[in-house]
Amino acid sequence: MAKSMCRAVGALVLAIAFLFPSAISVGAQADRGIAGFAPVRVEAELAREQKLRAIPDAAHAESNLRHITSEPHLAGTEGSHRLAEWLRDQYRSYGFDAEIVSYSVWLPQAREVKLELKTPNTITLGTPEQPIEIDKDTYNKDAVMAFNAYAPSADVTAPVIYVNYGTQEDYRALEAMGISVEGKIAIARYGRCYRGIKTKLAEEHKAVGLVLYSDPQDDGYSAGDAFPRGPWRPMSGIQRGSVQYTQIYPGDPLTPGVGSTANAKRLAPADAKNLPRIPTMPINAQDATAILENLGGPHVPHSWQGALPFTYHIGPGDAVAHMKLVMDYQQRPIYDVIAKLHGTNDGEWVVLGNHHDAWVYGAVDPGSGTATMLETARALGELVRSGWKPQRTILMCEWDGEEPGLIGSTEWVEANRAELQAKAVAYINTDVAVAGPNFTASATPSLSGLVRDAARAVQGPHSAGSVYDAWLEHAKRGQTELSGIARTQGGSEKMGEAPVDALGAGSDFCPFLDFAGIPSIDTGFVGDYGVYHSLYDDFYWMKTFGDPTFAYHATLAKVLGTVALRLDEADVLPFDYAVYAAAITRATNDVISRANQLGIQDATTQAVADASARLTASAAHVAQALQRSGYASFDAATENRINHELVSVEQALLAPGGLVGRPWYKHTIYAPGSYAGYAAEVLPGVNEALDRDDAATFQQEAAALAAALSRASVRLDEVAQLANASK
């Protein structure tokens, strides 16, 4: 065929693909195959996916979110209970077997939150968020007052010291200046780390209290127009949030490691290691102004200056504040919704989840995820009604109590750990599902390819290309940070591909990955989002700024549905352990280099190096064996054994005794940083020991890491042997 004719035909194909994408995509994609699928099954799978992706609908998603945000639904309240019952009924209407699973957990509610500036003038602070005339929901008297969950009751009066973001680096800078917060009330701005870390550090430095505020530099008028004119936090906006020490362990503080069932053995609150001992309260920028402009002492370092219209000082100066918190701690019920779509093989589960509780209305966090999950479930249910039978059982879970400390998911995972480890092939999480137009994803490295492939398969809502195309283009512009919420760039991305981040903490994937060793994914669309955890995160904000047409909600439902289908229907589960091993090798090389610089060079570091090299070799052998098989040469029994071993690799990376000092966290490769909270620490045990220059703990953690890598290699070797024996 002449080149000119080839160009003409090619142009015609591209035009047809653009105007009628379903007309040619199945055959074209079938030629390329799908990871984990035998060639003979690819075309049918692609046709099934196209049918699923035709179902999610923006109008349905909008209706879902309107109901979800119709009233405040804080965990432990009847609003949350009513929403759980509605969600259960929705899942049942889609053909799922749905039930509510309740746990009794130690959960506070605020009765009084008071802040006053006592000198140089008496000013009553702690003012509530101002209603906005155009947004009727901001007038609701049932909106919870602004407080920090798990702060203790207290009544303190003390001078105030400004500690910038309240990070380790900030306290080191204060020490270098000869300034102590001992006996003082610290005031810190939100950002850079999880708020519970800020409380922990203030407590460690012997402050008597902590006040948190949102500086306009971080998520207010410095970023853009403030609500209601724009999407950013207004001066009266307050970020609520938990200060539970989830970096030690999440969930019910009184039942670490076990589900909070009726007969669970509970700690005394005084013995719970993840509870703060000093009071913390959040305020808005208006109230922070009254405190900060009265601080004396030296000018702050340049990088500490925020956007309020005066020069910041460290203090204490004339500012003396009075904090009073009255917290009502009780055993309170929370309500998880567990919905099952039973498959042919109920011995394998694909699990999806998001939380349904919110600080107030939670249109973005988490309502956008709940609305999207419902559309995903509706699409899967329609496929079943049309004659499809899932190969594996699909679970869709709506967790309660995430905001106070990942409680609903943690208690369910702890209560069902053995069954999960036997059956769950992966966990797919969405939370802040839609806050703008930019796709982002985090995952265990073995699943990063699956996420990218699913994004390639889904048409973008406002472009000719795919979700992946827009994702990659946005990443190239260097704008992958989620405004208002910390994220961490992972080390598992391939050069030239859209980045898949490392999983840290801050959402419900944490117990699945860090405690139970279930391969996990977290994904959503992000953007300019300044009303996080405030009264203003409501339906009006979403309809005006976040996703006015709800096209991104429907698009994410298509992505989630595609990921779920590929995990559900794959002959061999599509884990890429070569990518995982490469990420681990990079991380172990860095650790060994750091250890050598500190004078640690012994049999322990050599054992880590050897175990990492063996894992790389084992992963390569598996990839070669499965590629040769074409995923098509296995009988049912062998296929089941291969899949079981592939899933168990992640569990092999758990240390039975957990990390030193925080045994709930058992994953040797990923955990939230002890002084970061949300952000992932890669190889947490060894790296944090090196941070402390603690050679003894380093050797202990390095031995546990080497053993975990060796266990993972054994599992991969078994897969390779099974695959090679079936040729």
Q: What contacts 157, CB < 8 A, 6 or more positions away? A: 118, 320, 321, 322, 323
Catalytic residue, chosen from 45, 375, 398, 402, is: 402
Ramachandran angles phi, psi of 18, nearest 5°: -70, -45
Residues of the chain by 3-state class (helix, strand, coil), percent to 5: 45, 20, 40
CA distances from 21 to 25, 28, 379, 465, 564 (A): 6, 11, 19, 11, 21
Beta bridge partners of 501: 442
- In the numeric block, the tokens 């099974």 are attached to 722
What the block records as the tokens of 686 is 């060894």
Structure tokens at 66: 């309107």
* CB-based contact 173:180 (threshold 8 Å): no
Gap between the Cα atoms of 321 and 156, Å rounded: 8
**Cα–Cα distance, 432 to 373 (Å, whole number):** 12
Half-sphere exposure of 333 (CA within 13 A, CB side): 12
Question: Is there a cis peptide before residue 548, judged by omega within 30 degrees of 0?
Answer: no
CA distance 74 to 141: 14
- 402 an active-site residue? yes
Q: Are strands 670-672 and 680-682 parallel, antiparallel or unpaired?
A: antiparallel
Rounded to 5 degrees, what are φ and ψ at 593? -65, -45
By residue count, the chain amounts to 727
Evaluate whether 23 touches 15 at the Cβ level (below 8 Å).
no
Secondary element (H or E) of residue 719: helix 695-725
Residue with tokens 């208690």: 411
E-assigned strands of 366-465? Answer: 392-399, 424-429, 438-443
- Please give the positions annotated as active site: 402
